[in-house]
């Protein structure tokens, strides 16, 4: 498929903020895509060239892109950089300068989606001497053959700055509309931006089938191929695979014990809520063990201690377990907050030393695959009993999550105090009869804490400090996310960080993280690529016309860095902010 056809779709998607219209655009496009192009097109639609569980990164910074643009167009780096400062978007700069290039040297060949995909993928795979020059050549090769509008999206894809509002929901629905629309009787009306469905029950059946297939593969390309070739049978034939992480089940929040019981039922399995990070442990039949975070990142290398805990203490030839790795103080053996061990996730060097300095205990709380069989449709109480039979517990290495079957509020309060005294956040309530629902916040599991809920927000801007903080970005513009994947500002935060690195999350560390992400600057203020997620506490949520979300946080403070286990797409939603706002104002 010619890349220009995909670019036409990008342009259409950019011209609307309406999710149904975006879904319609994608669904019509999917009907045209051949099986041979499905992988490339589906990933490029999401603005990526690797599935979200693949740890490889394109790894091209803005500076290298400037050199590539210069090599492709013959225009000096200085001139391109000046245009970038004015425009604030290298994709738009690429489109502009490619227009000025002599046509004789451009458009020598028509770009295909496969060519664009292959060249960008190679950027992540190159290593050794001459790597920088080869990367410039690969990018310049694409830009030299591209039309101006194509160059814009090539640059944005490489830099990870695609913002066309295509979320998982739109991709899922588009697959249903494209390949099952005739059976369901879907009619989309652009003028009213609405859909009519002949049978809502049948529609939901197909939606659930596509969602279930995606939850266990994390690849829309595979799901779309199955739907196109074999329909519903193909979707139901997709199963989880050891070594490929699945989306973890997420919990709703409950404000009271009564609300928690009302959601999951009585009696309920009630467990400690640990302040650690999610670890999904996979064991293959040949004995290899892989570890994945909630963000589906492979962290096997960073946690050799956890690999050994699982290898020696969990019986079975093949399985997938769900757990929480929690840091603890070596002297007191009390649990520590997530921030104390989060640095291990991204660590590449001195791993053995880190595992000794920042030890973790693996708290196993669920199992979703065992000896070749998926367990996601089995009731929780059965999955828990299986865990109890196969996990050999070793305190401060690997244990089962502390759990009790409770139906009385007073017993919950006693257990809650025990959890908090042990250094935990609160409790989890789980329905005994529930299946495991990957990637969803459903009424099978809720979390309960006696404190004001924090928000996970994305840094979209920052400001250089003054005086002794002049060398640091020390004030951060933070944003939540709406249903279309758009980041909406909700305030600025500058408190909660340390001036000395050894005291915790510091201004220096934040500056190191944010500086490479700077997109544009104006005076002391900079705009940054939305990648860094921070947990933010606050006193109150207020209405505010000053920020695009319509809300502002009163007395916000940085609680912790969450980038290691949460991506920007997992930030707190505008809908959740509205819910918290409404809840705090109940009289």
What residues act catalytically? 273
C-alpha distances out from residue 489 to 265, 479, 553, 572, Å: 38, 4, 10, 12
Is there a contact between 66 and 80 (Cβ–Cβ < 8 Å)?
Answer: yes
> Around Cβ 421, how many Cβ atoms within 10 Å?
9
Ramachandran angles phi, psi of 132, nearest 5°: -60, -45
Q: How far apart are CA 344 and CA 388, in angstroms?
A: 28
| φ, ψ dihedrals at 366, nearest 5° | -160, 160
Strands 277-283 and 426-431: unpaired
Other C-beta atoms closer than 10 Å to the C-beta of 430 total 26
Virtual torsion, Cα 4, 9, 12, 13, nearest 10 deg: -130
Query: Considering Cα of 489, then 490, then 496, then 499, what sign does the dihedral take?
Result: positive
Separation between Cα atoms, residue 141 and residue 106, nearest integer Å: 10
Is-contact 60 126, C-beta < 8 A?
A: no
73, 48 contact by CB (below 8 A):
no
Find the helix or strand (DSSP H, E) in which 527 lies.
strand 525-528
The C-alpha atoms of residue 470 and residue 137 are separated, in whole angstroms, by: 38
Helix (H) or strand (E) holding 22: helix 19-30
In this structure, are residues 360 and 306 in contact, taking their beta carbons and an 8 Å threshold? yes
Rounded Cα distance, 222 and 1, in Å: 18
DSSP secondary structure code for residue 299 in this structure: -
User: Cα–Cα distance between 431 and 261 in angstroms, integer?
Assistant: 9
Whole-number Å distance between alpha carbons of 479 and 486: 9
The strand pair at 373-374 and 194-197 is best described as unpaired
Q: Is the separation of the CB atoms in 285 and 237 below 8 Å?
A: no
Place of tokens 């705090």: 584
């Amino acid at each position: 498929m010619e890349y220009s056809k995909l670019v036409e779709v990008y342009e259409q998607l950019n011209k609307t903020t309406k999710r149904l219209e975006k879904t319609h655009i994608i669904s019509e496009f999917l009907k045209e895509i051949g099986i041979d192009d499905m992988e490339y097109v589906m990933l490029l639609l999401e603005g990526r060239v690797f599935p979200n569980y693949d740890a490889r990164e394109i790894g091209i910074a803005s500076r290298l892109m400037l050199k590539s643009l210069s090599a492709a167009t013959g225009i000096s780096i200085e001139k391109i950089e000046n245009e970038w400062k004015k425009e604030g978007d290298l994709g738009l700069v690429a489109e502009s300068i490619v227009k000025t290039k002599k046509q004789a040297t451009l458009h020598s060949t028509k770009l295909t989606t496969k060519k664009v995909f292959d060249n960008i993928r190679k950027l992540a795979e190159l290593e050794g001497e001459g790597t920088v020059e080869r990367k410039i050549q690969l990018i310049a090769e694409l830009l030299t053959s591209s039309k101006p509008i194509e160059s814009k999206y090539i640059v944005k894809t490489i830099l990870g700055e695609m913002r066309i509002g295509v979320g998982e929901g739109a991709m899922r629905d588009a697959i249903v509309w494209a390949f099952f629309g005739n059976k369901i009787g879907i009619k989309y009306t652009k003028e009213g931006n609405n859909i009519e469905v002949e049978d809502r029950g049948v529609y939901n059946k197909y939606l659930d089938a596509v969602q279930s297939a995606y939850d266990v593969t994390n690849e829309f390309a595979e799901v779309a191929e199955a739907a196109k070739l074999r329909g519903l049978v193909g979707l139901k034939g997709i199963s989880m695979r050891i070594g490929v992480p699945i989306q973890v089940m997420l919990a709703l929040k409950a404000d009271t014990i009564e609300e928690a019981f009302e959601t999951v039922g009585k009696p309920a399995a009630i467990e400690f809520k640990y302040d650690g990070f999610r670890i999904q442990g996979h064991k293959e039949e040949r004995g290899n063990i892989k570890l994945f975070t909630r963000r589906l990142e492979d962290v096997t290398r960073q946690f050799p201690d956890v690999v050994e805990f699982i290898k020696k203490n969990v019986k079975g030839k093949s399985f997938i377990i769900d757990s929480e790795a929690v840091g603890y103080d070596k002297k007191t053996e009390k649990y520590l907050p997530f921030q104390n061990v989060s640095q291990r996730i991204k660590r590449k060097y001195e791993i053995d030393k880190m595992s000794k300095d920042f030890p973790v205990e693996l708290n196993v709380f669920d199992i979703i695959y065992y000896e070749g069989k998926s367990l996601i449709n089995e009731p929780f109480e059965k999955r828990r009993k299986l865990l109890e039979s196969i996990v050999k517990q070793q305190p401060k290495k690997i244990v089962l999550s502390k759990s009790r079957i409770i139906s009385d509020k007073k017993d919950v309060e006693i257990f809650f105090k025990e959890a908090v005294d042990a250094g935990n956040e609160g409790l989890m309530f789980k329905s005994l009869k529930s299946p495991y629902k990957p990637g969803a916040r459903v009424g099978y599991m809720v979390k309960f804490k006696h404190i004001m809920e924090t928000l996970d927000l994305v840094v979209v801007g920052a400001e250089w400090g003054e005086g002794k903080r002049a060398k640091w970005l020390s004030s951060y513009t933070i944003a939540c996310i709406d249903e279309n994947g758009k980041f909406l500002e909700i305030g600025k935060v500058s408190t909660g960080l340390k001036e000395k690195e050894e005291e915790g999350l510091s201004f220096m560390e934040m500056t190191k993280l944010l500086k490479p992400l700077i997109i544009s600057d104006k005076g002391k203020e900079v705009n940054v690529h939305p990648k860094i997620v921070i947990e933010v506490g606050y006193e109150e949520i207020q209405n505010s016309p000053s920020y695009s979300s319509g809300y502002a946080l009163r007395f916000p403070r940085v609680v912790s860095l969450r980038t290691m286990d949460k991506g920007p797409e997992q930030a707190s939603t505008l809908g959740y902010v509205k819910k918290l706002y409404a809840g705090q104002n109940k009289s």
